[in-house]
Amino acid sequence: MSDRIAVIGAGQMGNGIAHVCAVAGHDVTLIDVNQGALDKAKATIEKNLDRQVKKGALEESAKTAALARITTATSMDAIANAAFVIEAATENVELKHKIFADIDRLAPAGAILATNTSSISITEIAGRVKRPEAVIGMHFMNPVPVMQLVEVIRGLATSDDTAARTVALAKGVGKTPVEVNDYPGFVANRILMPMINEAVYCVMEGVGTPAAIDEVMKLGMNHPMGPLTLADFIGLDTCLAILEVMHKGLGDPKYRPCPLLRKYVAQGWVGRKSGRGFYTY
Ligand code: NAD
């Protein structure tokens, strides 16, 4: 088997994962149902590589080589020669089940089947495929080329070999893996999303403007960016989806998504990627 990595979903996370894998020397196939998303991803990767070259973090020749290692496809058939599959499509449980059924059918024996989900149960995804021992959570942070952490999440049936190979891949692409267990939201979003949700309640109740709330958290808590700026950056649709998973999966009303967050998503004001969220871009 080659060491090819297939990344499914070419949105903001997928393009970042493809970027760091290609820079680390892996051949990458980036797959999306939407050709426009693939074109945009390639342009974004090139722009972000250029930025690394300008900062002196990467040689021009390494940039050219990384770009040459990335191929794109609109069909899942392209995962047939991948040793490692990383799913980074939209945060929707039914969609993940559908994609994992295809991955199970098409990925070669021995491949690792990883998901970058922010909150959906790894065990639930693994429970529907024929090789649950190969399924694992590999939760990169946004923006992937910049952020150091990869949360590695074992499902109930994940094998030691799968976990070891995932930890090795994370280290190989220059990240620091931290192993945690499979509960809704894992660790990162279990702690982050209630804070973002509370910030949205503060907007809804008129406790402060988005700018005031962000300033309080930046200056008062020493956070590098405020929770509403961060929510816009993550995508308000993704924040809502994560809160829904935590609310349903943990059954505690403290995770109920703020009605104002639902309103923004219903309007299509989902943050930076749509040009408008709590701020205008
Ligand atoms: P995004 O909306 O930017 O991109 C999702 C991409 O998936 C789109 O390009 C879409 O066309 C594609 N897609 C949809 N259905 C598909 C299919 N059947 N096959 C292939 N591609 C398909 O979303 P994102 O922010 O990149 O999030 C992707 C995943 O990463 C989600 O599971 C999310 O929870 C997780 N995640 C997001 C963040 C973040 O900060 N945004 C951080 C960590 C993890």
Structure confidence by residue, pLDDT tens digits, 230-279 = 999 999 999 999 999 999 999 999 999 999 999 999 999 999 999 999 99
Q: Which of 180, 200, 217 is the last residue of a domain?
A: 180
Residue 279 lies in a domain: no
Task: Return the residue whose CA atom lies nearest to atom 40 of ligand 1.
Answer: 234
* Residues 220 and 199 grouped into a single domain: yes
pTM: 0.93
If you ran DSSP here, which 8-state letter would residue 90 be given?
-
As annotated, the active-site residues are 118, 139, 151, 189
Q: Which residues form the domain of 85?
A: 5-180
pLDDT at 28: 98
Residues 174-214: tens digit of each pLDDT: 999 999 999 999 999 999 999 999 999 999 999 999 999 99
Q: Which of 145, 180, 215 is the last residue of a domain?
A: 180
Q: Which of 126, 149, 180 is the last residue of a domain?
A: 180
Q: pLDDT > 90: what percent of the chain?
A: 98
Cβ distance 135 to 129 under 8 Å? Answer: yes
Distance 15 CA to ligand 1 centre (A): 10
Residue 136 lies in a domain: yes
Residues 140-173: tens digit of each pLDDT: 999 999 999 999 999 999 999 999 999 999 999 9
* Residues 257 and 175 grouped into a single domain: no
- 267, containing H or E segment: helix 259-267
* Residues 132 and 206 grouped into a single domain: no
Number of domains present in the structure of the chain: 2
Task: Mention every residue, 6+ apart, whose C-beta is less than 8 A from residue 14.
Answer: 7, 8, 30, 32, 41, 88, 89, 116
| Pocket of ligand 1 contains residue 235 by CB under 6 Å | yes
* Residues 33 and 122 grouped into a single domain: yes
Distance 10 CA to ligand 1 centre (A): 7
User: 139, 187, 131: which is closest to 161 by C-alpha?
Assistant: 131
